[in-house]
Structure 1
């Protein structure tokens, strides 16, 4: 999963912002579908949501807190 495309990584970040309650006007559908296939996102009534695995992936990419 370390080889996410730039668009997929951007979509994953947008889904994390959405989960945090921020307004996210658009998530790339193709990227969101790919994230769903990887288990990093899931389909919901509101579009797509980040999964626990997706949040963990972003946290790992961010590295340890300073």
Structure 2
């Protein structure tokens, strides 16, 4: 799966947010695209990374892990 640079940044921010870190703002268009891909979701607390998003980010960081 190929993500745009903005989507990659947003996914990384969502990962850090899940870990409890303070993150920069998340571009809504990028977050919506991640939602369409199943990598993020929107809930009452804002945007969150999904398990598929965590896996995609891990694969991006370590592409030889297949």
Where in structure 2 are there 5+ consecutive unaligned residues?
Answer: none
Q: TM-score, normalised by structure 1?
A: 0.89
Segments of 4+ moved more than 2 angstroms: none
Give me the CA root mean square deviation: 1.4
**CA–CA separation in structure 1 for the residues paired with 2:50 and 2:42:** 10
Task: Number of aligned residue pairs: give it.
Answer: 64
Aligned equivalents of 1:27 and 1:44: distance in 2? 14
Question: How far apart are residue 47 of structure 1 and its match?
Answer: 1.3
Instruction: Spell out the pairing of 1:1-12 with structure 2 (5 A cutoff).
Output: 1=1, 3-12=2-11
